[in-house]
Structure 1
Amino acid sequence: MPRQALPRLEFWYEFASTYSYLSAMRIETLARDCQLEIVWRPFLLGPIFKKLGWPTSPFNLYPSKGSYMRRDLERLCEAYGLPFTLPVPFPQQSLLAARIAHAGRNQPWIGAFTRAVFVAEFGQGLDISDEGLMADLLLETGAPAKDMLDAAQTRETKIGLRAAVCDAENRGIFGAPSFVVETGDLFWGDDRLEAALEAAAKEAS
């Protein structure tokens, strides 16, 4: 008898997003407890922000919002037992990491790679646009580093990531992290992760 497929929850994340870091570090464990499958959807917020007239993160455009975010992340990371260092510059250039993750989004190592990138960036303050760092993280998470770095530069991957941004816009996604259940309902923000998991599990019951 074939194994019944688990209900799915789409996890839309941007590597330059501080709150995506929090969700990425928790989502696989929580989803496993709920018997859900995570669909990893890396994308870029920059093109969406530009259409809103924002040349950079709103945390930079509005200093009080940025100050709050930093303190909020310090508190939350302490509560979750996660390291936190805001990298300089912020936001980081996330294009290379996003292309790698898009190319490997269906691979068994995608969760480990995603977490490794976020820890390097927001735990250690490292530059995630560095190809050498990406190669090291790929190897550490059991991925074929050279093949994935090559795949990140292919026309197929570049077009695919641009299509992912368009897909995000069409679904009404305006920030990260965002979570989409199978009915299309959207949940935004790390503080809505548990609610999204609950909704996805309820749909399957």
Structure 2
Amino acid sequence: MAMVEFWYEFASTYSYPAALRVAALAAERGVALAWRPFLLGPVFATQGWRDSPFNIYPAKGRYMWRDLERICAARGLPFRRPEPFPQNSLLAARVALALDGDDRAGFSRNVYAAEFGEGLSIADRALIVRLVADLGLDPEAILARAESDANKSKLKSECARAIALGVFGAPTLATEDGELFWGDDRLEQGLDWAAGGGG
């Protein structure tokens, strides 16, 4: 079975609609999906950016927010812009990385729904605790694992791996043959590529 890595950042706007549909799209094509949370901050730093390009370039930012509104409306997804933007996604990323398989995917979808569906702050520890508990897991144990030195180092390694792969934004699909497909609007193309064995 072909496998695709789904690289996503919790502060990423377009990762919201992508995260809510990528698993179903992959299953339809018989493609295994690996959920890979990472941070865009280190990636942006390599490009000389200290903020989201959507903030650095106001016209691009205005377009993005309107575009996201249209996408969510078309798919029947709730949308509420979180403030501030981008959100501090460090704790959420650490928790996601401390989870495996369906738990990681479920937690990740729930984070996006809370952040962009309800406009809640994902930097709020109480919210993260609730989202972990909603999965039927022990928040205290998961948070302890998430904030361990080993897991912190793992997240740094994941960010370095994303940069090494050439990931420059989120969401990005990375196929086994080294192809990258960036954006919610490239999910089908990337998964079709993987399912068909590449070009």
TM-score tier (shorter): over 0.9
Contact 1:97/1:134 (CA < 8 Å) preserved in 2?
Answer: yes
Alignment TM-score, normalising by the size of structure 2: 0.96
Tell me by how many angstroms 1:145 deviates: 1.5
For structure 1, which runs of at least 5 residues remain unmatched after alignment?
1-5
Q: How does 1:73-88 map to 2 (within 5 A)?
A: 73-88=68-83
Tell me by how many angstroms 1:107 deviates: 3.2
Confirm whether residue 53 of structure 1 aligns to residue 15 of structure 2: no
Tell me by how many angstroms 1:87 deviates: 0.5
Confirm whether residue 28 of structure 1 aligns to residue 14 of structure 2: no
Per-residue CA deviation, residues 126-176 of structure 1 (Å, 9 max, x unaligned), is 010111101111111233321111111101110000000100010000000
Q: Tell me the equivalent position of 1:3.
A: none
Matched-pair identity in % = 50
Contact 2:97/2:104 (CA < 8 Å) preserved in 1?
Answer: no
Q: Tell me the equivalent position of 1:44.
A: 39
Tell me by how many angstroms 1:108 deviates: 2.4
- Measured in 1, the distance between the counterparts of 2:169 and 2:112 equals 17
Alignment TM-score, normalising by the size of structure 1: 0.94
Opposite residue 24 of structure 2, the aligned amino acid is T
Per-residue CA deviation, residues 73-127 of structure 1 (Å, 9 max, x unaligned), is 00000111111111000000000000011111x2321111111000100011101
Match of 1:170 among 140, 164, 167: 164
Confirm whether residue 156 of structure 1 aligns to residue 150 of structure 2: yes
Q: How does 1:47-196 map to 2 (within 5 A)?
A: 47-104=42-99, 106-196=100-190
Contact 1:109/1:142 (CA < 8 Å) preserved in 2?
Answer: no
Contact 2:8/2:172 (CA < 8 Å) preserved in 1?
Answer: yes
C-alpha change, 1:36 and 1:142, in structure 2 (3 Å) is farther
Tell me the secondary structure at the aligned position of residue 101 of structure 2: coil
- Measured in 2, the distance between the counterparts of 1:27 and 1:143 equals 24
Equivalenced residue count is: 198
- Measured in 1, the distance between the counterparts of 2:101 and 2:172 equals 21
- Measured in 2, the distance between the counterparts of 1:151 and 1:171 equals 27
Tell me by how many angstroms 1:15 deviates: 0.1
Per-residue CA deviation, residues 6-31 of structure 1 (Å, 9 max, x unaligned), is 32110000000000111100011111
Q: What value does the CA root-mean-square deviation take over the aligned residues?
A: 1.1
Where has structure 1 moved over 6 Å in runs of 4 or more?
Answer: none
Per-residue CA deviation, residues 24-74 of structure 1 (Å, 9 max, x unaligned), is 000111111111111010000001112212111000011100100010000
For structure 2, which runs of at least 5 residues remain unmatched after alignment?
none
